[in-house]
Amino acid sequence: MVALFTDTSRSPSRAEGLTDPPGSLAIIGDPQDRRAALFAHAWRSAGGGPTHIRSYEDVVRAGGAWLTDLDSRATLRIDSPGRSFAAMRTILLAGLGAAAAEGSPVLSEKQIEELRQDPCRIAFTRQWYLGLVEILGRIRRSLRIASPPQVTSDPSEILVLFDKRTCHSRLWTAGVTVPRSLPDVLGFDDLASKMRSAGLSRVFIKLAHGSAASGTVAFETNGARHRAWTTVELVRDSNGLRLYNTRRLRRYTDPHMIRQLIDSLAPHRIHVEQWLPKATLHGYACDLRVLVIDGRAAHQVLRLSQGPITNLHLGNRREDARLLKARMSPAAWEAVLATAEKAARCFPRCLHVALDLAVSTNFRCHAVLEANAFGDLLDGSTYSGLTPYELQIRAIRQRLSPPSRPSHAQCQ
């Protein structure tokens, strides 16, 4: 059976001794991306064995044959495909059949072959997700057959984390505090109707399979007047309307453009939830990224923004989480960390989960806004002196060591 990180108990302390170094490491991701290179470097620095970084397209071409190169103490890390254009085309092609079968908008095989690199374009995210379902399904099947290594995140858990609607439902069912959500929204008119029925005037609209704020819209209305803040730029040319991500937050007030925006996003599936007022610090709205590793709320990053979308790549400010902690009571702060750990327990076969949480304007309450499969690239952040990658590798070493600790620290 595949050895998975199934237990989410708190990790042993840093002082605990380790025995054998980890074996080899295989990473599925983008060989040109910093994520893979940094994790591989941390692995080697910890005394680990050889590292192999394979692209998504290589894995698809090789089938399960690449697994035979791994030793019995190997670890497999499935990482983000990043911005790799080749990976995007491979994943879109893998999702073509399933997307067409369910009636979602699709790029044909010919259109995929003719795609030119256009890194900011928001392109057919539902087809992309279904391609990821297909590829990770193949990986999971290969792992069952080929005397598999230890896997840091199970493919099926990654897929839930990449589906905001399913992920939100899992968190809510487990009793994790999350914003209210609306039933499936099919377009602008449907959104307006469901907002009225729910008594909501402000919502966040997110692509169900988006990441890094791609396709995110903060929308408010009083019925007659609409305002939308978004990373999306609408571009119309001879090929029709296309959507692009930008690093500048745009505000739309023209009802026709807002309708176009939402009607263009909805066919690719969107998740709509209540827009919760966030605490402010020094005039900036804030939220918190908490990285839970092996069950422990470890690294924390505070994000400050003058707009409603806080992602750091949009030029927002990054600050020490202690700035927020100082404004909260000890009990309220501990409750935030406990909620992050509770949310991570909803994904028991993941070594790490990155949670985004909002704290209320009175600094007493909080809610989980996002759960991320690949949110552990936090430059400069340490916990007990360890970077996110070093702490994960430490957990892997502890689990690969002979069973000299209590049984709750073992893999199964």
CATH of the domain at 328: 3.30.470.20
Q: pLDDT higher for 353 or 64?
A: 353
Question: In terms of domains, do 398 and 264 share one?
Answer: no
Residues 76 and 203 in one domain: no
Identify whether 167 is part of a domain.
no
Q: Mean of the pLDDT values across residues 37-60?
A: 93
Residue 232 lies in a domain: yes
Query: What is the model's pLDDT at position 410?
Result: 29
pLDDT exceeds 80 at position 18: no
Question: Is 355 in contact with 343 (CB distance < 8 Å)?
Answer: yes
Residues 300 and 359 in one domain: yes
pLDDT value at residue 400: 66
Q: Stretch 50-72: mean pLDDT, rounded?
A: 84
The domain in which residue 213 lies consists of: 188-274
Are residues 126 and 226 located together in one domain of the fold? no
Mean pLDDT of the chain: 88
Q: Is the pLDDT of residue 19 over 70?
A: no
Q: Is residue 172 part of a domain?
A: no
Confidence of residue 178 (pLDDT cuts 50, 70, 90): very high
Q: Is residue 142 domain-shared with residue 247, that is, in the same domain?
A: no
Question: Looking at residue 22, what is its pLDDT?
Answer: 67
What pairs with residue 108 in β-bridges? none
142 and 20, same domain (yes or no): yes
* Nearest alpha carbon to residue 57 among 88, 32, 85, 90: 90
Query: Residue 21: its pLDDT value, please?
Result: 58
**Per-residue pLDDT for 240 more than 80?**
no
Span 371-392, pLDDT tens digits: 999 999 999 999 999 999 999 9
Q: Where does the pLDDT of residue 252 fall: very low under 50, low under 70, confident under 90, or very high at 90 and above? A: very high
Looking at per-residue confidence, does 314 or 347 come out higher? 347
Residue 171 lies in a domain: no
Residue 58 lies in a domain: yes
Domain count, the chain: 3
Kindly state whether residues 268 and 283 are assigned to the same domain: no
**Rounded to two decimals, what is the model's pTM?**
0.90
Q: Does 16 have pLDDT greater than 60?
A: no
pLDDT at 146: 64
Q: Does any domain span residue 15?
A: yes
Q: Are 127 and 52 in contact (CB under 8 A)?
A: no
Candidates 43, 72, 70; CA nearest to 54 is 70
> Do 270 and 283 have their domain in common?
no
User: Average pLDDT for residues 23-47, to the nearest whole number?
Assistant: 93
Within a 13 Å sphere around the CA of 389, how many CA atoms are in the beta-carbon half?
20
